[in-house]
Structure 1
Amino acid sequence: MIAKATEEELQEIRTKSADALFEGTMKQFHPSAERVNELVGSAFEKGCYYLVSRQENKLAGWVLIGPSTDFFSKEEIGFIYELYVVPEYRGQGLAKPLIQKAIDELSIKGYPEIRLSVHAGNFAQHVYRDLGFVDKQISMTLQVVKRP
C-alpha cells in the first residue's frame, strides 16, 4: 500500500535522506544533515509531501511530490522531486507503483504536466520512460579547472 507519510515515517525518511540524495545524484553530492533539512523544508513550504511504500511493516521507499513552476511560462506544474527505494527492497518492483501513485495524485490536483529531473546514468530512467516520461530538455555541464 502507498499512502501519505505519517510523522513517524517522515522522521525515518530524514535519517535516510542524505543517502538517497547521494545515490540519486550518482554519488556527486553528499549533503550534510543541515542541507537535507534545508532542501526538504523548502519543498514542504511549497506544499510538497512524501508518499511512502511499506513492506512487512517497514519503510520500503518513498516519492516526494508537489508543485513547481515552469521557468519560462511561469505555469504551475506537478513535480516529482525524489524517488528512493530502500536497498533491501530493491528489485521487487516498488519504484513503478510509487511513481504511478505520484502521477495519479498530481493529476487529481489538476496539474497540466508532470515533470522530474534525473541524473544521467541513474537506473530509475527506465522506470520513468516505461511510465511515459520523455526527455524535455538536457542539462549539460563542463568542469572548469582552476588555473594558478
Structure 2
Amino acid sequence: MIVKATEEEIQEIRMKSADALFEGTKKQFHPSTERVSELIDNALEKGCYYLISRQENKLAGWVLAGPSADFFSKEEIGFIYELYVLSEYRGQGLAKPLMRKAINELSAKGYPEIRLSVHAGNFAQQVYRELGFVEKQISMSLQVIKRS
C-alpha cells in the first residue's frame, strides 16, 4: 500500500536522504545533514509531499512529488523530485507503483504536464521510460579545472 507520509515517516526519510541523494546523483553529491534538511524543508514549504511504500511495516521506498513551474513559460506543472527504494527492497517492483501513485495524484490536481530530472546513467531512467516519460531537455556539464 502506498500512502502519504506522516511526520514520523518524514523524519525517517530525512535520516536516509543523504544516501538516497548520493546514489541518485551517481555518487557525485554527498550532502550534509544540514543540506538535506534544507532541501526537504524547501520542498515541503512549496507544497511537495512524500508518498511511501511500507513492507512488513518498514519503510521500503518513497517518492517526493509536488508543484513546479516551467522555466520559460512559468506555467505550473507537476514534478517528481525524488524516487528512492531502499537497497533491501530493490527488485521487488516497488518503484513503478510509487511512480504511478505520484503521477495519478499530480494528474488529479490538474497539472498539464509532469516532469522529473535524472542523472545520466541512473538505472531509474528505464523505469521512467516504461512509464511514458521522454527526454525533453538534456542538461550538460563541463568540469573546469582550476589552475594555480
TM-score (ref. length: structure 2): 0.99
Where 1:15 maps in the other structure, the secondary structure is: helix
What is aligned with 1:111?
111
Please tell me the root mean square deviation across aligned C-alpha atoms, in Å: 0.5
Structure 2 distance, partners of 1:51, 1:136, is: 25
**How far apart are residue 8 of structure 1 and its match?**
1.4
Q: Which residue of 1 aligns with 2:122?
A: 122
Q: Secondary structure at the match of 1:136?
A: coil
d(CA) in 1 for partners of 2:7, 2:59: 13
Aligned amino acid, residue 132 of structure 2: G
Map 1:87-106 onto structure 2 (within 5 A).
87-106=87-106
Q: State the 1:9 CA deviation.
A: 0.8
Task: Name the aligned partner's letter for residue 43 of structure 2.
Answer: A
**What secondary structure is seen at the aligned counterpart in 2 of 1:59?**
strand
Aligned-residue offset at 1:79: 0.1
| Distance in 2 (alpha carbons) for counterparts of 1:142 and 1:33 | 27
Aligned counterparts of 1:44 and 1:12: Cα–Cα separation in 2: 15
Question: Aligned equivalents of 1:83 and 1:138: distance in 2?
Answer: 19
1:65 aligns with 2:65: yes
Shift of 1:147: 1.5
The alpha-carbon deviation at position 7 of structure 1 amounts to 1.4
Q: Distance in 1 between matches of 2:64 and 2:46?
A: 12
Task: Report the counterpart of residue 17 of structure 2 in structure 1.
Answer: 17
Q: Distance in 2 between matches of 1:86 and 1:41?
A: 22
Identity of aligned residues (%): 83
Cα shift readout 1:2-52 (whole Å, capped 9, x = no counterpart) = 000011111110110000000000000000000000000000111000000
Q: Which runs of 5 or more structure 2 residues have no equivalent in the other structure?
A: none
Q: Distance in 2 between matches of 1:138 and 1:19?
A: 25
